Every structure is written in structure tokens, then in C-alpha cells.
Structure 1
Amino acid sequence: MTKQDARLGVYKVLDDLGVSYQIHEHQAFFTVAEADEKGYVLPGLNLKNLFIKNKRGPERYLVILDDHRKLDFKAFAKFTGWGNKVTFAGDDELMEYLGLTPGSVSPFGLINDLQHRVIVVLAKSIGQAAGDMTVNFHPNDNTATLSLTKNDFLKFLEHMGNTVIFEV
């Protein structure tokens, strides 16, 4: 699948749901640090997405955090009950579960998780944000960013049918 095909799949789902969004084209960014170096910051909540797994089990989590926040692996292990079995999922798993490549991790990859195997964990800041607050994510391609409201983002997640947990 080409980057353009990946994007078009996201746009179609959002259009079918009646979700409004803005597309911001930019050079490829693989990390938050790269975007920062280029001065690329959009209004609203700028978020990052981490694909985490249980080393010894089938569980996979898409953890969505504020862009400059580091995941506290010990707290996450306690949250999941996994002990010290928490790690980043590999590139092959990212492709298998979400149909994505490194640098393009996005909640929009859930359109490829037809079995709803991935559990989504949303940062406290998303839960606390007003419904009309803008949230920003790659459209499964790291050469663009989509901006949409928190309420429309939650509408998308509900449509996808994956388990969603808000950080407490």
C-alpha cells in the first residue's frame, strides 16, 4: 500500500463518519524531536503514539500521550499488571496489527485492525480537554498531519470498536 492509499483510507472513514478535519502537508517527521527542530507545532493537542506489547502475551496497546511526555514503563506495567514484561512492539508487529511503518504510528492505523486486537490508552490530557479542542495525528503517513476536534476523534474511536481506556 502506498502512502497515498494509506491516507485515502483514513480520509474515507472520516468522511463517511461526517468528521471535519484539516490536512497539513509537511516534510516527513519520524520523531517529535525532528518536528521540534523544524519548528513544526500546530495549535491544539500535539500527541505521540507508542505501540507497546506484553513480552510474554498477546496484548498490544496503542498509547497516545502528549508529544513531549515520556511513557513511564513502570507505571504502565503496574497499570496492565504485566510486571516487567512491557516493551515496544517491533516493526513487524506494527505492520501486522496496524498496517503501519515506524514513524507513521497513528490511531488511524486502527482501520487496519479488523479483529480489534489493539487496546487504545488515551492520555489524561485528552480526557480533560474540551470537546472542541483540536487534536493532531498523522493520517498513517508521516508527511502530513490531520487536525480534528477531540469529539470527532472520539467518534472515530467509537466507530473502530477497539477497547479505549482513559488514563486516570
Structure 2
Amino acid sequence: MGGRTEAETETAVLLADGSVPLTPEALIAKLEELGIAQRSVEHPPLFTVEQSKALRGQLPGGHTKNLFLRNKKGAMWLVTSLEDRPLDLKKLGELLGGGRLSFGSAERLMRHLGVLPGAVTPLAVINDHEAAVTLVLDAGLLEQEPVNVHPLTNEQTTAMAAADLIRFAESTGHPPRIVDLVQAERDPG
């Protein structure tokens, strides 16, 4: 478990810079290299927050919802929030200064973050060698310990300290933009 199937590997799209996306195993090795303590558990593939809630049992900490977004000009954001956080794309676009936002395509997701739909994770910024994607983290998520994310596959969940998630993102050249998404939803739009 924990990687792309042979068929997926053979048909995988290369990243924007022409390189191959990292495997979950290589990602975990990078976390270890950075001295980031983590714990990963394997499970059947999860594609939705609802599936995750049904399967996870008593995994403690904050669980995430991840949105890969773009605007008409091609700017891209990866927004990671608490799983139950309501998000209004219009308000989010205003907050991020991106104007009208829409979801990025599966092809764009693979080209820039090296993951398939259902496996979107803030850890995928490790595959964005061109720093084309802005990582946005929900301030409320960072109050949770640990933070639970996918390690480039939806067949595993990895738990780590919120501070380590930030440190990891910074190590990839993606200092996260931390946003109070609760306040953003309260502000009139």
C-alpha cells in the first residue's frame, strides 16, 4: 500500500518541471530527514471527508479538507482547513486576493502537486518545484494536535504536530499563508 499502482505509474503525468512526483515512501523519508515526528496508518482509499469520518475511528487531532483552487489568470492555491469548516469560494477569493476562484482540474493538480483527486494534501507542495501554488492553512487547524493529512496517497493518514507541518512547508519553499477562515466566513461579502 501507499503508492501509485503500476498502471498509475506508467500513465502518470510528469510535474510541470518535467520531474516525477515523489512517492509516499520518499515523502516519509523526507519528513524523517527533517526530524519531523509522524505516525502513518494505512486504510482503504478515501475520497471524501464523509468516508474519512466513517473509517478513522478514534484518530485524535485535526482532520483536513483540502481545496485545490485557481483563478482565471492561472494563479493557484491549496487551501487546507478543518474538515467541517464551511468555505465560500467567493469570500475565499476575496480574502486571498484572487478574485473569482474555481477548482483546479485533475490534470493541473497532478502537474503541479503530483497527486490524484482524493489524495490532496498540504504535503503535496513538496512536488511544486516551481512554487506555483500558494499554500493556505486554516488558523483553526493549526490549533489542533496532531494534524492529520494524507502522505500523497489517500490510502494512508499521517499525523504530525501543527508546527512541524509549517516547518515542512517552509522547507519546500512554500511558507504557508495562515488565514482565520472562521472570521473570513463571518465577514460580509
1:23 offset after TM fit, Å?
Answer: 0.9
Amino acid at match of 1:15: E
Are 2:76 and 1:60 equivalent residues in the alignment?
Answer: yes
Match 1:124 to one of 128, 136, 139 = 139
Kindly indicate whether the alpha-carbon contact (under 8 Å) linking 1:49 and 1:106 is maintained by their aligned counterparts in 2: yes
Match 1:99 to one of 101, 114, 117 = 114
1:80 offset after TM fit, Å?
Answer: 2.7
1:39 offset after TM fit, Å?
Answer: 5.3
Structure 1's consecutive aligned runs of 4 or more residues displaced over 4 angstroms after TM superposition are: none
Kindly indicate whether the alpha-carbon contact (under 8 Å) linking 1:118 and 1:163 is maintained by their aligned counterparts in 2: no
> What per-residue deviation string (whole Å, max 9, x for no partner) do you get for residues 17-46 of structure 1?
011100111111100111223354520111
Kindly indicate whether the alpha-carbon contact (under 8 Å) linking 1:73 and 1:86 is maintained by their aligned counterparts in 2: yes
CA RMSD of aligned residues (A): 1.7
Mapped to 2, the partners of 1:10 and 1:57 lie a distance apart of 30
1:163 offset after TM fit, Å?
Answer: 4.0
Are 2:178 and 1:154 equivalent residues in the alignment?
Answer: no
Distance 1:31 1:40, change over 3 A: farther
Kindly indicate whether the alpha-carbon contact (under 8 Å) linking 1:35 and 1:41 is maintained by their aligned counterparts in 2: no
Mapped to 2, the partners of 1:25 and 1:163 lie a distance apart of 28
1:152 offset after TM fit, Å?
Answer: 1.2
2:93 match:
77
> What per-residue deviation string (whole Å, max 9, x for no partner) do you get for residues 116-157 of structure 1?
111011112134x17xx2000010010110001111111101
Amino acid at match of 1:90: S
> What per-residue deviation string (whole Å, max 9, x for no partner) do you get for residues 36-66 of structure 1?
2335452011112110110x11210000011
2:156 match:
144
Amino acid at match of 1:112: N
The TM-score with structure 1 as length reference comes to 0.89
SS at match of 1:38: helix
User: Please, which runs of 5 or more residues in structure 2 have no aligned partner?
Assistant: 6-21, 181-189
Amino acid at match of 1:3: R
Are 2:23 and 1:6 equivalent residues in the alignment?
Answer: yes
Mapped to 1, the partners of 2:169 and 2:98 lie a distance apart of 25
Are 2:34 and 1:22 equivalent residues in the alignment?
Answer: no
Distance 1:105 1:41, change over 3 A: farther
Distance 1:41 1:92, change over 3 A: farther
Amino acid at match of 1:29: L
1:167 match:
179
